[in-house]
A = this chain, B = another copy of it.
């Protein structure tokens, strides 16, 4: 309907600015800005309509960077991950990213590559982009440890790992409940001698909590099972693990059956390799339940039982918490402990033909 309006500038390719829209609509820049920010409160319908038409015609989109510079909000969320290679982190990331996108935020990712010294640098870099908040799944240890000051006054939510000096919202698997479920299931199936294998604690809260929960369970008066803990470092050779498993069986009392609880899928992988090396079969010589439920858990005969983490929900909850804080919610740090799901497969079942556990 309207005649084509050749842009006055020589380069019509550049993104239109708020000034272009203002000119097109015959109003001031402020009015266009108000169209986006305070439309209902203070803008007459006819002017609003003209602005809207101009915006549509020029396909104008506000520049978040300019908005950030002026207004101080960037619609950006900084996500710091200890290790993108870790499937758990990625799964959480996915949930968080989705929730953020739905709320109109973009996620800036920073991967620590497991280098704890880079944590502070990561946060500073993100902060320099005026991110509105942080989602942190990091070590929380070492030189560059994050503290309240580092966050430049922006809210943060911690995922999976608490930080000593940081009173922020915290979202994680209910480690204690998950451990209780795993051990109760093993015990009920007749596995009485348990070995919990974890990566080195190194101050990582989730590892510590799982280990403590395990210790509490096996040392409780009412508990019928015995238990030991093994910290297994990546640098340690397979002999260490093989030896530990051999010892486990050797030290069992007559008739006492042994099972391993793995602290996460990294450990699960090593245990599965070890069992393969020994020529054992899960559910026979050795029972097994692992934290995390990797896609290949059902491929290891006769299927690895696992406590699946609600990773997507954790990510979404983290994003939700953060967005609430960004929107001004005050109050003390909150804690969301989400329940795990015990997936029972062959590795933890009492073998058919064996004497009944009851």
- Chain A residues in the interface with B (C-beta under 8 A): 13, 15, 61-66, 68-69, 74, 76, 79, 84-85, 87, 90-91, 93-94, 97-98, 101, 106-111, 113, 124-126, 128-130, 152-153, 269, 272-273, 276, 294-296, 298-301
Contacts and interface: CB of A to CB of B under 8 A. Distances in A.
Contact of A91 (B76, B85, B107, B273): B85
A347 to B, nearest CB: 13
A296 B269 contact: yes
A162 to B, nearest CB: 25
A129 B272 contact: no
A125 B75 CA distance: 11
A295 B276 contact: no
Given A98-B113, A108-B106, A108-B107, A128 B299 contact: no
Contacts of A61: 124, 128
A129 B111 contact: no
B111 A108 contact: no
Copies of this chain, complex-wide, total 2
A38 B270 CA distance: 53
A343 to B, nearest CB: 15
Contact of A84 (B76, B90, B101): B90
Nearest to A273: B299
Contacts of A299: 269, 272-273, 276, 296, 299-300
Contacts of A298: 273
Contact of A109 (B87, B91, B97): B97
A102 to B, nearest CB: 11
A68 B63 CA distance: 11
Given A69-B66, A269-B296, A106 B87 contact: no
Taking each of A109, A125, A298, A301, which has the highest tally of chain B beta carbons within 10 Å of its own beta carbon? A109
Given A63-B69, A79-B109, A273-B299, 14 more contacts: A65-B65, A65-B74, A65-B129, A94-B113, A97-B109, A98-B111, A106-B125, A106-B126, A107-B108, A108-B108, A272-B299, A273-B298, A296-B299, A299-B299
A221 B68 CA distance: 64
Contacts of A13: 153
A260 to B, nearest CB: 15
Nearest to A59: B124
Contacts of A98: 111, 113
A56 to B, nearest CB: 15
Contacts of A109: 79, 97, 107-109
A130 B65 contact: yes
Contacts of A272: 296, 299
Which has the most chain B C-beta neighbours within 10 Å: A63, A65, A91, A124? A65
A245 to B, nearest CB: 16
Nearest to A265: B295
A286 to B, nearest CB: 15
7 contacts: A61-B128, A63-B130, A98-B111, A107-B110, A109-B109, A269-B296, A296-B296
Contacts of A153: 13
A303 to B, nearest CB: 9
Contacts of A94: 84-85, 111, 113
